[in-house]
């Protein structure tokens, strides 16, 4: 082969590559950005999107201009129903779930600032937020999309091929930003698998000396006025921005599974939980007024069937309400949204400082009554915790065993 033919062949190969790869990525659209061609069995299931959500989600906000947005961590992405009739005002509001897996306070704060700055936004449901402000220099390109990455990267091309291959995948994203997470994963076949999954979720919440039936220490619940300054500046800024732009802001304290509440209680963390809730409620009232309909805080603490699904219930993962102690499925989110945007208050309460004591008392009574009837809670918590201990064995920060 002559050097000329070799060189021209190489150049032709690259020319071909620069045509085929972007065209494939554009047509298959593995990250659901372009949305020009959507064919069932060809590209409607997007199995690779979850690794690249941060590449496209904020850009989709800018492109789609939704009017009702959900923002938070994976809890919100998996469980809060973006098409709920109340949330979308009977389908009149174009909605989008901007939540991101593993998003933490600072990132959510920056995404909230970005969302509130978008034209046309009328409603924002925000969960997993911090009260502190954060520097958003780590997220300089929110709302922009990197076309080179979308069209020319090998990751995008790999994702496109994966999309073509896995159209029968049961794990799914929806075009409006929701994710099924582990609901349809093949790895969770029986109660044992689900127990392991719960146990893994408990690991970060293990403590040195858990104490069974620890009573709530009301004296340790801090009800002092929320201070001005850095420790609350983030939340205040978000509320002020929402008020200024006349956007309805719903702050959500995510529902948790009763095992998670019990673990926190045995580790003595419920006082801090209620103190934080009080502080947020007082900030909302300071900034928006005590009876504001525009900015509300909602809490879903409770011991009810909806968040007390047994692990050893013999139900397959797809039919469950909870994937683990934090990830609730959309059925739970539906009821939560019924409370917020409708009139069905079976699950969830709006939190105000005025009603705070009543909220606490009702919650405690509900818990006591529930636990008397449901002894499985202690058993399953012990079992999950034992597995969690086993999973952490050998680590230097090994939690101690619970007191008998």
Partner 1 sequence: MLFNSYPFILFFLPVTLLGFFLLARRTHGLVAAWLAAASIFFYGWWNPVYVILLLASIGLNYIFGIKLMRLRAAGRDRYAGRFLALAVAANLLLLCYYKYSAFFVTNVGLVTGTPLDFAAIALPLGISFFTFTQIAFLVDARRGEAREYNLIHYCLFVTYFPHLIAGPILHHGEMMPQFRNDSIYRVNWGNLAVGLTLFLIGLYKKTVLADGISEFVGPTFDASAAGSGPTLLDAWGAALAYTFQIYFDFSGYSDMAIGLSRMFGIVLPVNFDSPYKATSIVDFWRRWHITLSRFLRDYVYFSLGGNRKGTARRYLSLFLTMLLGGFWHGAGWTFICWGTLHAVYLVLNHGWRSLCRAVRFEPNNLPGWTVFARLITFAAVVVAWVFFRAANVDAALAMLKGMAGMNGQLSSECLLTYGSAFGNWLIERGARFPESSCFNGDAIQFIWILVSLVVCWAFPNTQEVLATHRPGLVSPGYRDIVPGRSALNWMWNPTLGWLAVIGGLGVFAMLSISEFSEFIYFAF
Residues forming contacts to partner 1 in the complex (CB under 8 A) are 1-7, 9-11, 13-14, 17-18, 21, 146, 148-149, 152-157, 393-398
Closest distance to partner 1 from the beta carbon of 6 (Å): 3
Closest distance to partner 1 from the beta carbon of 1 (Å): 5
Closest distance to partner 1 from the beta carbon of 313 (Å): 30
Q: CB within 8 A of 404, min separation 6: which ones? A: none
C-alpha distances (whole Å) from 213 to each of 262, 266, 300, 341, 404 are 9, 7, 21, 35, 12
Closest distance to partner 1 from the beta carbon of 18 (Å): 8
Q: Which of 2, 224 has the CB closer to partner 1?
A: 2
Q: Which of 15, 272 has the CB closer to partner 1?
A: 15
Q: Which of 165, 390 has the CB closer to partner 1?
A: 390
123 in Cβ contact with 86 (< 8 Å): no
Q: How far apart are CA 223 and CA 216, in angstroms?
A: 15
Closest distance to partner 1 from the beta carbon of 76 (Å): 26
Closest distance to partner 1 from the beta carbon of 246 (Å): 39
Q: Which of 56, 112 has the CB closer to partner 1?
A: 56
**HSE value, Cβ hemisphere, 13 Å, CA-based, for 200:** 9
37 in Cβ contact with 43 (< 8 Å): yes
| Tokens linked to 286 | 């300071």
Interstrand relation of 68-71 and 95-97 (parallel, antiparallel or unpaired): parallel
Helices (H), 153-251: 154-165, 191-202, 230-244
Q: Which of 190, 398 has the CB closer to partner 1?
A: 398
Closest distance to partner 1 from the beta carbon of 325 (Å): 22
Q: CB within 8 A of 308, min separation 6: which ones? A: 257, 258, 370, 374, 377
Q: How far apart are CA 45 and CA 164, in angstroms?
A: 9
Q: How far apart are CA 302 and CA 307, in angstroms?
A: 8
Q: Which of 20, 361 has the CB closer to partner 1?
A: 20
Nearest C-alpha neighbor of 321 from the set 301, 304, 346, 341: 304
**HSE value, Cβ hemisphere, 13 Å, CA-based, for 164:** 10
Closest distance to partner 1 from the beta carbon of 146 (Å): 7
Q: Which of 42, 147 has the CB closer to partner 1?
A: 147
Q: What angle do CA 127, 128, 132 make, to 5 degrees?
A: 115
Q: Which of 3, 119 has the CB closer to partner 1?
A: 3
Closest distance to partner 1 from the beta carbon of 132 (Å): 21
Nearest C-alpha neighbor of 125 from the set 16, 201, 27, 238: 238
Q: Which of 185, 391 has the CB closer to partner 1?
A: 391
């Amino acid at each position: 082969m002559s050097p000329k033919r070799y060189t021209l062949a190489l150049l032709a190969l690259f020319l071909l590559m620069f045509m085929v790869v972007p065209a494939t990525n554009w047509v298959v659209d593995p990250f659901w950005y372009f949305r020009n061609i959507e064919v069932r069995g060809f590209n409607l299931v997007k199995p690779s999107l979850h690794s690249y959500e941060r590449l496209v989600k904020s850009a989709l906000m800018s492109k789609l201009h939704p009017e009702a947005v959900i923002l938070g961590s994976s809890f919100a992405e998996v469980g809060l129903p973006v098409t709920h009739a109340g949330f979308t005002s009977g389908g009149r509001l174009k909605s989008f779930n901007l939540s991101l897996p593993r998003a933490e306070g600072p990132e959510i704060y920056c995404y909230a600032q970005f969302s509130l700055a978008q034209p046309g936004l009328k409603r924002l449901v925000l969960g997993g937020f911090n009260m502190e402000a954060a520097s958003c220099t780590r997220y300089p390109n929110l709302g922009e999309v990197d076309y080179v990455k979308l069209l020319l990267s090998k990751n995008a091309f790999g994702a496109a091929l994966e999309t073509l291959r896995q159209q029968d995948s049961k794990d799914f994203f929806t075009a409006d930003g929701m994710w099924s997470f582990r609901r349809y994963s093949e790895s969770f076949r029986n109660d044992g698998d689900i127990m392991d999954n719960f146990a893994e979720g408990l690991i970060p919440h293990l403590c040195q000396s858990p104490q069974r039936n620890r009573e709530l220490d009301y004296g340790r619940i801090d009800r002092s006025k929320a201070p001005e300054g850095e420790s609350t500046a983030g939340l205040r800024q978000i509320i002020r921005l929402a008020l200024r732009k006349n956007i309805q802001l719903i702050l959500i304290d995510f529902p948790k599974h009763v095992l998670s509440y019990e673990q926190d209680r045995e580790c003595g963390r419920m006082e801090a939980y209620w103190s934080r809730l009080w502080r947020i409620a007082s900030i909302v009232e300071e900034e928006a007024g005590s009876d504001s309909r525009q900015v509300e805080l909602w809490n879903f603490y409770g011991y009810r069937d909806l968040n007390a699904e047994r692990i050893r219930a013999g139900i397959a993962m797809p039919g469950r309400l909870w994937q683990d102690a934090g990830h609730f499925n959309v059925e739970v989110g539906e009821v939560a949204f019924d409370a917020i945007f409708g009139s069905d208050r079976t699950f969830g309460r709006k939190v105000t400082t005025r009603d705070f004591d009543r909220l606490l008392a009702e919650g405690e009574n509900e818990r006591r009554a529930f636990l008397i009837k449901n002894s499985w809670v202690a058993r399953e918590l012990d079992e999950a915790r034992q597995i969690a201990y086993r999973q952490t064995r050998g680590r230097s920060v090994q939690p101690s065993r619970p007191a008998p």
